[in-house]
Structure formats: C-alpha cells, structure tokens
Amino acid sequence: MSLQDQDPESARLVYIQNDEFFTLVGEPLALAGVHRVVIAKWDALYAEAMRSACAQVFPDVSAQVCRRGSDTLTTLRERPADLAVLGLTFVDMDGVDLLDRIAAEQLARRVLVVSGRKDEHSLHALRTARFDGFLDPFAETMESLVEALRQVAAGHGYISPSLRHRLLVRPETGVLAQWLTLAELQVFCVIGDGSDDAEAAERLGLSVATVQTHRRNIMHKLAVPTSAKLVREAVRLGVVRITSEGTVIRPGFARMLADWQARKAAHKHCDSASAAK
C-alpha cells in the first residue's frame, strides 16, 4: 500500500512500503471546537476515566459512552463525532472491524484507539487500518491519554512507545504473515472456532476438498497435531476471539474476505479479457 493509493481527505495513519506510518495532517481541530466525542469501551470504569480526560482537554465537550460496537455505530450514524475514542474488544464485534466501518462511512473526524491488545493478527490488521492515534493503557498513564487527545485533535499521529516498534516495523518472523497464504489465513479464521470442513466450505464458497487441503497445510505449518489444539492456537494468535457469552468474533475477517473476493473478480475479468483477444 502506498500514499498514492489513499484518498487525501480520508487517509489518516497510512502504512506504506518503507515500513513507516505517515500522518496526513489536515486542519487542526480547535480544542474549544471539539463538542462531540463518542467513547466506545467495554470497561465502564475506564470509559469514565476517558470521559474525564476528554473534559480536561476540550472545554466544551459532550462525551457519550457506548459499551458495544453495534451501539457505537448506531450512535455515530445518528450524528458523526468530532472525535471517536475506541477500544478494540467488545462482546458483539471486533474493534478492527469497527474502525473499518467508521472510516468507510466517515463517522468521525479523528479516531484515537485505546487498547492493550497486542496479538499478532490484530496488529497485522491495524497496520492498514485508519486511525489517528493508538494508546496502550497498560503502559501509559492518564496524563499520556490527555496528551494523546491533544495530539490527535491537532492532526498529529500518536502511538504509545510500547507499540511503536510492533506497529511501525514489519515483523520478520510473524507466523501468520510469513507462513500462511491469504487463502490459508481465511480458512484458519473460520475453522479456528472449531467449525468443520463442510461448514467452512459453505461459508467461504469453497469445495470441502479445498478446505481439507488448507486445513492440512495450516496444521503442518503451525506444527499443530489436532483440531482441538488448532482452536487454541487460533485464539492465541488472535485469529478468533470467543467472548464470555460464547460469541465467536473474527477480527478483520470481513475486510479480508472482501479483499479476496475483489482479487478473484479482478482475476476473472483479466482472464475474460485475455480470452476475448
């Protein structure tokens, strides 16, 4: 991905080929002009702390707290925010997918992610997500949150020191990025919750035999001997999350599937054009 591929009006922190993030700085938001903030955080106590931090930075702010991803989207669609402050873990959807929808629908002028999630799959997905700042609450203080809010409002990117290397530098030995193909990763996202080959084939529009082949390759590459251990590995790597309510969430899966379908359509179009010549 390169800067040239992005819309200058909507791009924020953008991963480019030289393994850096560039911040496309637009007009700064005057602190007194930030009136509407939507805070999306499952942890109610920390959400209130975030509301307090916003009140310190923005003198005339109205901060609304949402605890579910779906409620956040509904709230923002009713009235987009000057600033969205988001966690990544909800009981009904994943924050990576929430970020994608906010960016696609232009539901917030600025976005600050506040999350301590560091699993490989999530960080890989976040490298191409749209956000203006990322703060690790387990490594930084409330004073850092206040500073991050100021930086984001000013149009500058903010990334916690504990996350800079993992977000800004491409990992050389990541299991998912280095060992699995895109097709295998898609299958892993589906079978990682224990789904059998027939269920995965129906969901992905593949043959059962193709899913079986991918499963064998995944288990071989990850050195996982059984399907039960494959589920544990999927959870460890962040490919799937299973909530306390038993809901299965696949971070970034919708985007991955859309990209894959777009590639297949483009490939089919090229084949048709070649055959017509």
3-state SS record for 92-116: CCEHHHHHHHHHHHCCEEEEEEECC
**Rounded distance, CA 200 to CA 83, Å?**
38
Whether the Cβ atoms of residue 63 and residue 49 lie closer than 8 Å to each other: no
Q: What is the pLDDT of residue 193?
A: 86
Q: What is the pLDDT of residue 56?
A: 96
Fold of 175-276: Arc Repressor Mutant, subunit A (1.10.10)
pTM for this one?
0.70
Q: What is the pLDDT of residue 59?
A: 94
CA 178 from centre of chain = 19
Residues of the chain with CATH 1.10.10.10: 175-276
- 11 closest CA partner among 154, 157, 160, 120: 157
Q: What is the pLDDT of residue 20?
A: 47
- The matching CATH number, chosen from 3.40.50.2300, 3.40.5.90, 3.90.180.10, 3.30.1060.10, for 11-168 is 3.40.50.2300
Q: What is the pLDDT along the chain (277 residues), one digit of tens a residue?
A: 222 333 444 444 444 434 444 454 457 899 999 999 999 999 999 999 999 999 999 999 999 999 999 999 999 999 999 999 999 999 898 898 999 899 999 999 999 999 988 887 788 778 778 888 899 999 999 999 999 999 899 887 788 888 877 776 554 445 676 788 888 888 998 998 888 999 999 988 899 999 999 999 999 988 898 888 888 888 888 888 777 777 788 877 777 777 666 666 666 656 566 666 5
Q: What is the pLDDT of residue 227?
A: 84
Residues of the chain with CATH 3.40.50.2300: 11-168
Other Cβ atoms closer than 10 A to 140 = 18
